[in-house]
Structures are given as C-alpha cells and as structure tokens.
Amino acid sequence: MNQLLFSAPTVSALPVRGRTEQVPLRRIFCVGRNYEAHGREMGVVVDREAPFYFTKAAEHYAPSGSTVPYPPGTGNYHYEMELVVVIGAPVFRVPVERALDGVFGYACGLDMTRRDLQQAAREQRRPWDLGKDFEQSAIVADIVPATDIGHPREGVIELRVNGETKQHSDISLLIHSVPEIVAHLSTFYHLQPGDIIFTGTPEGVGPVKPGDEIEGSIAGVGTIKLKIGTPDEG
Ligand code: MN
C-alpha cells in the first residue's frame, strides 16, 4: 500500500445492543420533512409524492452519551429526534415489498441542526450543508437488530430537554414509511451495509444552550442522550 501523507480517517463503529460486534458506519442519509406537523411548524407544505434527502459526513457522527460543544457559526442550535434505519445488505432498486430485507436494525438518532443557517440557505435556495452537516451533528444510539425487535411501524417518539418534554409523537405518523424510503433511496444509490438513514423529526423542534441535557426515546427501539457543552473557543 502507498504511504499516506496524513493519517487516514478512522471508520466510526456503531454499537449493537446485545452484541460485541459493531456496525461500521458508511454513509448518513437524512429525510427532510417527514412528519406533517413538523412541516407546518417549519412553514412549509410537506411533499407526499416522494421523500427528499440531505446527507451528513460519517465523520460527523457522535455516540449517545456524548457532550458536544455548542457549535460555531450559529445562534439557534436545534435538536431533532428521529428514528434511524441501519442498512445491513446491499440494496439497489428494491421494490417496497422487499425493502425491509435490506434493513439490519434501528436506532434512536439526533439530527442536530444549525437552524438559522439552514433557514437562511433555504430562503436563498442554497444547499443546507452549513445548517446540517457539521462536526458532531449526527448522534446515534445503540442499534437494535430487526431480528430482535422486528420492524417497528408504531411507537411513541419523544424528546426531553432538562426533563421537560419538547417532542411527543408516534413513528406511525411518518409520511414516507421505512420501506418506502429504502425503496425510493435505492433508486438513486447502491445502498450498502453500514449506510444509515435518519427518517425525519416530528414537531416540537427547538433550541438548546450550553449545559442543556437532551434525552430521547422511541418505544421498542431505545433511548439516546446528549449534553451540550460550552463553545469551542479554539
Ligand atoms: Mn431531521
């Protein structure tokens, strides 16, 4: 192998509940506006025809239980509690009826967002990267294999900040279901084991500040935690 000029990035590995083996993280896809009431609070009409996506670099993953510094460049740093789908087999152009065959399991996720930058980009019809794809913005908790819990189609999804409930909905209210998302995304990408998909957040998103403690849960899937630290003054 050729010698590298710089140290190579390490592959992040996602813990799996009840197993010693971990899932190597490949790509992070995120569905936008996949709950009606969240679309409404964002001032947009949701598109029921097809999901749309943005991505986050795998390097921007952080595990549940982390303390992440309040990120630079924002004054409106938001939580978004989401169901995360973990791909476990190659999937390309799969029909909806067979899409779940490619799903290894599920996890709780936090799609952390610099809302002011996302909204400014939206208004200027620019990409969302600065608002969505930044360091330690993709928080994922332990994966639970579908062989253990099946493929959840309903269950309360909740998020609390400092013990106060901010988001409370049910994953049955996803506009585009997990098999629909996997089938649709597989018409654009050759999905691979270790790819994960954030499926969108319900209503109730809001800001956090240094010192805040976030806890989220999805019935039958698990829990997730995140603490907000002070800004990195560099
Ligand atoms: Mn989201």
Can you give the pLDDT at residue 2?
A: 84
Listed residue (69, 100, 64) closest to 81, CA to CA? 64
Across the chain, which has 234 residues, the per-10-residue mean pLDDT values are: 89 96 98 94 87 97 98 98 98 98 98 98 96 98 98 98 98 98 98 98 98 98 98 86
Ligand 1 center from residue 7 Cα (angstroms) = 31
Ligand 1 center from residue 232 Cα (angstroms) = 24
Ligand 1 center from residue 199 Cα (angstroms) = 7
3-state helix, strand, coil in the chain (%, to 5): 20, 35, 45
Ligand 1 center from residue 101 Cα (angstroms) = 24
CA atoms 55, 56, 57, 61: torsion sign = negative
* Residue 153 near residue 172, CB atoms below 8 Å: yes
Q: How many CB atoms lie within 10 A of CB 70?
A: 17
Q: What pTM, to 2 d.p., does this model score?
A: 0.97
Domain ranges of the chain: 14-229
Domain 14-229 is of which CATH architecture?
Alpha-Beta Complex (3.90)
Can you give the pLDDT at residue 48?
A: 86
